[in-house]
Amino acid sequence: MKIGPKFKIAKRLGAPIFEKTQSEKFEQSLARRGNQQRGRRPQVSDYKRQLIEKQKMRFSYGITEKQLRRYVDEAVEKSNQPVALLLERLESRLDNVVYRLGLAKTRRLARQIVSHGHILVNGKKITVPSHKVTVSDIISIREGSRQTGLFIDLAEKHEAAGVPAWATFDAKKMEGSMKETPVYNPAESMFDAEQVMEYYSR
């Protein structure tokens, strides 16, 4: 998915939604911009606020508008708590799980890793980043990929502390799993999922 100039997009949305914008320098830039605009910023409509939150969510996970719309429709249709189901579905994408397991520093790289056939799910090569991972699925690195530059030092460099509570990864075995359903924590998100649902309910 072609995104465009990441710094400009992140500044427009007012959040460091891309990994390259998650720096102290970028935060200071946002703060300066906020100080300059304070007192003269026009009232933001509900629609614009919801649109901004929707874009934050979409760019955070690197998905298209069509994909996000499909996930939202599915969540509304299948649950009376659509926000939780929507975030569960986003977090359960194979590219996101690969990222969460610490096999890639960014979701963008995780998508490339999956697309290039480096990842196995229950022993089967999966090259579709949007593939839905379910609880107890075993995610592993393909044998032929383990000695590539991407993973050769994984056992030494892997940061286990970064793996969320709902997942587990053994760097020596180069395999992990989603041990329980991902739980949405608003405090960990750069977007307001409730506002996203409001946007699509119009």
CATH classification of 93-178 is 3.40.50.1820, yes or no? no
For the record, the structure tokens of 100 come out as: 């969460």
Domain ranges of the chain: 93-178
* Residue 185: predicted pLDDT: 80
* Residue 37: predicted pLDDT: 54
End-to-end C-alpha distance for the chain, whole angstroms: 26
* Residue 29: predicted pLDDT: 63
* Residue 7: predicted pLDDT: 64
CB 175 within 8 A of CB 153: no
CA dihedral 141, 147, 150, 151 (to 10 degrees): 60
- Round to whole Å and give the CA distance between 119 and 84: 27
- Does residue 137 sit in helix, strand or coil? coil
- pLDDT by residue for the chain (202 residues), tens only, comes to 545 566 677 666 766 666 656 656 556 665 565 555 555 556 779 999 999 999 999 999 999 999 999 999 999 999 899 999 999 999 999 999 999 999 998 899 999 999 999 999 999 999 999 999 999 999 999 999 999 999 988 988 898 878 999 999 999 999 999 999 998 888 878 899 999 999 999 8
- Does residue 4 sit in helix, strand or coil? coil
For the record, the structure tokens of 194 come out as: 């409730």
* Residue 187: predicted pLDDT: 80
Phi, psi of 200, deg, nearest 5: -80, -10
- Round to whole Å and give the CA distance between 77 and 197: 13
CB 113 within 8 A of CB 150: yes
Specify the pTM: 0.82
